[in-house]
Amino acid sequence: MTNVPAQRTRSLFPDLAEIFSGFPSWGNMRPLLDTNLMRLEEEVGDGKYEVRAEIPGVDPAKDIDISVNDGRLTIKAERTEKTEQTGRSEFSYGSFTRSITLPKGADEDAVKATYDQGILTVTVPMSDKEPQAKRVEIETKSSS
């Protein structure tokens, strides 16, 4: 009698592991699947507009850039992390950008930002007065 190895019967449908074997690992897919990597909260009150962003694990002086231009507040952050274990190291990094339209009456010249325990807070003073329409005089040139 000979020992013939048993053959595994294959189903018509592939195993789930086979289906996903050609795709990148799920860890690499996170940036594609997660559209809100920088969570923001906005609040208007007490004469100010305030935005809070969760950005833990960054050095605010080097890794965060805040700009205001034409009524838009833009927050850019870059996170890098390196972990080392016995004989192995792992790097992860990513950059995030969010832009927000400032409400009417926001004072773009007086924006302030603070960072405490992973929370970035951007405060923009608001004017109590509604912007007034300005009348523009028309100059006429006489033809000679």
The rounded radius of gyration (Å) of the Cα atoms in the chain is: 28
What would the pLDDT profile of 49-86 be if each residue is shown by its tens digit?
999 999 888 899 999 999 999 999 999 998 877 788 88
In a domain? residue 26: no
Q: Which CATH number is 45's domain given?
A: 2.60.40.790
Give how many domains the chain has, as a whole number: 1
In a domain? residue 130: no
Range of the domain at 51: 38-125
In a domain? residue 3: no
In a domain? residue 137: no
What would the pLDDT profile of 101-120 be if each residue is shown by its tens digit?
999 889 999 999 999 999 99
In a domain? residue 31: no
In a domain? residue 56: yes
* Closest C-alpha among 102, 109, 120, 94 to residue 44: 102
In a domain? residue 18: no
In a domain? residue 24: no
pLDDT of residue 12: 55
* Vertex 67: Cα angle to 63 and 70 (nearest 5): 160
The tally of CA atoms less than 13 A away on the side-chain side of residue 59 is 4
Strands (E), 32-136: 40-45, 48-54, 64-69, 72-85, 88-101, 112-116, 119-125
Helix, strand, coil % over all residues of the chain, rounded to 5 = 15, 40, 45
